[in-house]
């Protein structure tokens, strides 16, 4: 499959004619080629976005919303095709890919409506001869740098609000997963989005990112990816004082109190831990279970984990697909070996799964490690794989302290049936997202984002829309 980039409403290749290979993570087969673009193509994309800006931002929110709703409808109409494309390039089970397309469309659909509610204010003045007004205006040309783990939703979570607010955008999708982005571009044109409002540039991350931060027309960049890269982008953003939002790494604690509904907690742990084979920024990394119920929790969780089928994402009944690449596999193996070497007990899994010839060696068995400690890699780094480390705790104070003892602050989860504890712990956890008796908190109308080294800015909800507006104060003498 040969694909092209979207610049100014035209489908184009790289100036150099060079291409990057897109591989199926389950088999390592090359399934498509995408343009290997750099700074020059990015400059043209930014300039197309700048040209499209006045026309798009002057449309009414209702008119913009109609285009966006047509895009969301087209995504749902083509859900099966888009899901299969996603599984091909990213590896996740088809059921999850279908879910991601619906999730991705929901950001476009929700923003289409919310764009109509970007209210300004009239503020009481202290002078009889003056009036004070605030206007919410589009930021301008924006750019999105998106990851491979959610190839559609991490684009639409940025694109939907940007377009709904009247901004235009240049998207640089992850090198591993350009196909979902390109398919979204095709549907956006079909939905009637004017040329230049949504541009897609694939290829050399350094050259494309460099141009995004160098070009003065780009007024805001939204990035989802690692904390390491986020720190580099912060430095690059200082050149033009480009506005940023960063959704970076996480290291989510998952706490089960002695009064929890254990079945719900096990179901929640499975859902958050094994979604996308553990390759999400908000999946549980450290599971703390009260000493009084730990043995029973471990028994039930390992029983449920043994039933998770590992295999290629397009095979029937598969719940855990391949890891994205060989480096990811090496990291998972290193984390498990390190934990075992430091005394953790492997309750289940703890080994790669060999699917035989024709398949890449990137499948890892759902693994439950009992007795993790602070020194282990699993306690400090994102494993980004199907590994669930568990340890016990005695008191609420102790577990909140352990949960907060991390440079990351994206998502945290806990299970309890005590309403007072629920509020107390939700307030005490130093995280941007808290799932209280809920392991799947992500949704279009809620603000997603972290604190500490997990980044800043919010995506989704009213707060996510505001990221794409600037407040202008008009002082009006009458
Ligand atoms: C992420 O892993 O960053 C996204 C997860 C989500 O949207 O639920």
Whole-number pLDDT of residue 2: 92
First to last CA, the chain: 63
What is the reported pLDDT for 399? 98
Ligand 1 is surrounded, with C-beta below 6 A, by 149-150, 153, 224, 247, 280-282, 442
Residue 281: the pLDDT is 97
The best mutation among 145, 149, 226 to test binding of ligand 1, ranked by most ligand atoms within 8 Å of the C-beta, falls on 149
pLDDT in the model for residue 329 = 98
Beta-strand pair 252-256/243-247: unpaired
The alpha carbon of 303 and the centre of ligand 1 are apart by a number of angstroms equal to: 26
- Please identify which of the residues 89, 96, 114, 247 carries the catalytic annotation: 247
Which segments of the chain have a pLDDT < 50? none
Q: Residue 427: what pLDDT?
A: 98
Give residue 170's pLDDT. 99
Reported pTM = 0.98
46-74 confidence digits (pLDDT tens): 999 999 999 999 999 999 999 999 999 99
Ligand 1 centroid to Cα of residue 450, in Å, is: 11
Q: Name which of 61, 56, 60 is nearest 116 in CA terms.
A: 61
Full set of structural domains in the chain with CATH? 5-248+454-477 (3.40.605.10), 252-443 (3.40.309.10)
Measured distance CA(255)–CA(319) in Å, rounded: 23
């Amino acid at each position: 499959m040969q694909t092209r980039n979207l610049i100014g409403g035209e489908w184009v290749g790289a100036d150099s004619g060079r291409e990057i290979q897109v591989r199926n993570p389950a088999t390592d087969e090359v399934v498509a080629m995408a343009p290997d673009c750099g700074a020059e193509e990015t400059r043209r994309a930014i300039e197309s976005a700048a040209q499209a800006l006045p026309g798009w931002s002057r449309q009414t929110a209702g008119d913009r919303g109609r285009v966006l709703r047509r895009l969301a409808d087209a995504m749902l109409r083509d859900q099966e095709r888009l899901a299969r494309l996603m599984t091909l390039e990213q590896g996740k089970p088809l059921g999850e890919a279908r879910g991601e397309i619906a999730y991705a469309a929901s950001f476009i659909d929700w923003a289409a409506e919310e764009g109509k509610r970007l209210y300004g204010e009239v503020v009481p003045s202290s002078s009889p001869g003056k009036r004070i007004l605030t206007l919410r205006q589009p930021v301008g040309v924006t750019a999105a740098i998106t990851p491979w783990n959610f190839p559609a939703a991490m684009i639409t979570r940025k694109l939907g609000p940007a377009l709904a607010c009247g901004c235009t955008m240049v998207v640089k999708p992850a090198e591993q997963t350009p196909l979902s982005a390109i398919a979204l571009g095709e549907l956006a044109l079909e939905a009637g989005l004017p040329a230049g409002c949504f541009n897609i540039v694939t290829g050399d991350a350094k050259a494309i990112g460099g141009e995004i931060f160098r070009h003065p027309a780009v007024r805001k960049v939204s990035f989802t990816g690692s904390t390491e890269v986020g720190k580099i982008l912060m430095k690059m953003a200082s050149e033009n004082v480009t506005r940023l939002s960063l959704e970076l790494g996480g290291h989510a604690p998952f706490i089960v109190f002695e009064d929890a509904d254990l079945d719900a907690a096990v179901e929640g742990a499975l859902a958050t831990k094994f979604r996308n084979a553990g390759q999400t920024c908000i999946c549980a990394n450290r599971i703390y279970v009260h000493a009084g119920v730990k043995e029973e929790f471990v028994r039930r969780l390992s029983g449920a984990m043994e039933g998770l089928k590992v295999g290629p994402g397009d095979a029937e009944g598969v719940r855990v697909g391949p890891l994205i690449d060989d480096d990811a596999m090496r990291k998972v193996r290193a984390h498990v070996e390190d934990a075992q070497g430091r005394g953790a007990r492997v309750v289940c899994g703890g080994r790669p799964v060999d699917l035989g010839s024709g398949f890449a060696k990137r499948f890892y068995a759902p693994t439950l490690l009992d007795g993790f400690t602070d020194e282990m890699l699993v306690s400090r780094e994102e494993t980004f794989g199907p590994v669930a480390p568990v340890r016990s705790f005695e008191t609420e104070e102790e577990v909140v302290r352990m949960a907060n003892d991390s440079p990351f602050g994206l998502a945290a989860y806990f299970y309890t049936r005590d309403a007072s504890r629920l509020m107390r712990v939700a307030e005490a956890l130093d995280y941007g997202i808290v799932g209280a008796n809920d392991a799947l908190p992500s949704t279009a109308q809620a603000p997603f984002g972290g604190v500490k080294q997990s980044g800043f800015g919010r995506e989704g909800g009213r707060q996510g829309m505001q990221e794409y507006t600037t407040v202008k104060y008009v002082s009006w003498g009458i």
